[in-house]
């Protein structure tokens, strides 16, 4: 399906790299990826667009083609990223948007839905948890220790070299239980669309480094029972980064939320699961 690549500028002067799928006149589904828009697989975007939605995926600040200032010392907060999502949704349509966030982008999506309830009509949270990076609540499973040890043991690549960056992504995916071939291909695409200025900083940021430096206060988990929009929680059964208990906790906390566990998936949404996930999202 044909897509359109463009940019959107918020009133605060932030430029967001955007890609659109589907008929602009149809109801809007806003997809906010974890770092770059490619966190959301093409087959899922296409399936949603074929279901009659105007699908928009975009790069968060300091990643991809969006505004880059200093990813290693961001002068903004998680709530600012949430405000970006709301601004984009308002700019694209007068209708409330279905907002989706994956991984750390799911944290942004939760805060956006809570802080801007008039802007969003539905919420999908994939492979995420209801608290910020750092110490976890007693009822939430933390990152798998053995998996994290293996990830941290990987040598840092030359972030300016496409091949070594792609190989690092493949190695990380294998450790996480994802498809190394798909991860390598996505990393190559991310590298190719990353601006040539400061490529090492940008590529490092796209592994989520910036989220360990963001101000993610105050806590939002206690506000989740106040959500009054349909919600879908999607989680891979074999997710070792955010184990499935995090998704189960989200579904228990958000009133009326549906939990969809992808039995064959880890952290990434598999292309083979695109139709199943799209159907669940379209049903909200």
**Could you read off the pLDDT of 112-129 as tens digits, one per residue?**
999 999 999 999 999 999
When the pLDDT of each residue in the chain is averaged and rounded to a whole number, the result is: 90
Nearest to 234 by CA among 134, 100, 35: 100
CB 179 within 8 A of CB 266: no
149 C-beta neighbours (distance < 10 Å), count: 11
In DSSP notation, 28-56 reads EEEEE-SSSGGGS-HHHHHHHHHTT-EEE
Buried b / exposed e over 220-253, threshold 16 CB at 10 Å, is bbebbeebebbbbbbbbebbbbbbbebbbbbbeb
Long-range contact set of residues 162-165: C-beta below 8 Å, sequence gap at least 24: 162/188, 162/191, 162/192, 165/191, 165/203
pLDDT for position 207: 52
Let me know if residue 173 belongs to a domain.
Answer: no
Asked if residue 208 belongs to a domain, the reply is: yes
Q: Please check whether residue 228 lies inside any domain of the structure.
A: yes
Say how far apart CA 218 and CA 275 lie, in whole Å. Answer: 36
Count of structural domains, the chain? 1
- Domain extent for 271: 3-141+195-282
Cα–Cα distance, 97 to 71 (Å, whole number): 28
- Does 185 map to a domain? no
d(CA 165, CA 170): 9
Per-residue pLDDT of the chain (284 residues; tens, 9 = 90+): 678 988 999 988 999 999 999 988 788 888 766 568 999 999 999 999 999 999 999 998 888 888 888 777 788 899 999 999 999 999 999 899 999 999 989 999 999 999 999 999 999 999 999 999 889 999 999 999 999 999 999 998 888 889 998 999 999 999 999 999 999 999 999 888 887 655 555 555 555 556 777 888 899 999 999 999 999 999 999 999 999 999 999 999 999 999 999 999 999 999 999 999 999 999 99
Q: What's the whole-model pTM score?
A: 0.95
In a domain? residue 179: no
pLDDT tens profile 185-232: 999 998 888 876 555 555 555 555 567 778 888 999 999 999 999 999
Instruction: Supply 92's token pair.
Output: 């694209």
- For residue 49, give the CATH number of its domain: 3.40.50.1820
Residue 79 backbone dihedrals phi, psi, to 5 degrees:
-70, -30
- Give the pLDDT of residue 200: 57
Supply the pLDDT for residue 2: 79
Determine, yes or no, domain membership for 183: no
Q: Do the domain assignments include residue 78?
A: yes
* Cα atoms in the 13 Å half-sphere on the side-chain side of 242: 30
**What confidence score (pLDDT) does residue 210 get?**
62
Question: So what's the pLDDT on residue 259?
Answer: 98
């Amino acid at each position: 399906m044909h897509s359109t690549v463009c940019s959107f500028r918020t009133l605060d002067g932030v430029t967001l790299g955007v890609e659109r799928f589907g008929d602009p006149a149809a109801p809007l589904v806003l997809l906010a990826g974890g770092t770059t828009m490619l966190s959301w697989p093409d087959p899922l975007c296409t399936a949603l667009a074929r279901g009659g939605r105007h699908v928009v995926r975009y790069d968060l600040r300091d990643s991809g083609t969006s505004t880059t200032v200093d990813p290693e010392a961001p002068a903004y907060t998680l709530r600012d990223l949430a405000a970006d999502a709301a601004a984009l949704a308002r700019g694209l349509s007068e209708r409330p948007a279905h907002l989706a966030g994956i991984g750390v982008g799911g944290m942004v999506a939760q805060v956006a839905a809570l802080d801007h309830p008039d802007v969003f009509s539905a919420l999908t949270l994939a492979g995420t948890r209801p608290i910020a990076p750092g110490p976890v609540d007693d009822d939430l499973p933390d990152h798998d220790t053995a998996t994290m040890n293996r990830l941290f043991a990987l040598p840092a690549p030359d972030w300016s070299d496409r091949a070594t960056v792609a190989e690092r992504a493949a190695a990380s995916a294998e450790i996480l239980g994802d498809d190394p071939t798909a991860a390598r291909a996505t990393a190559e695409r991310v590298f190719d669309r990353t601006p040539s200025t400061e490529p090492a900083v940008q590529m490092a940021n796209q592994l989520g480094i910036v989220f360990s430096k963001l101000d993610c206060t105050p806590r939002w988990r206690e506000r989740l029972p106040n959500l009054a929009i349909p919600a879908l929680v999607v989680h891979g059964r074999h997710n070792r980064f955010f184990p499935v208990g995090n998704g189960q906790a989200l579904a228990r906390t958000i009133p009326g939320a549906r939990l969809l566990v992808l039995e064959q998936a880890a952290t990434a949404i598999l292309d083979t699961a695109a139709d199943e996930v799209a159907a669940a999202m379209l049903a909200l």
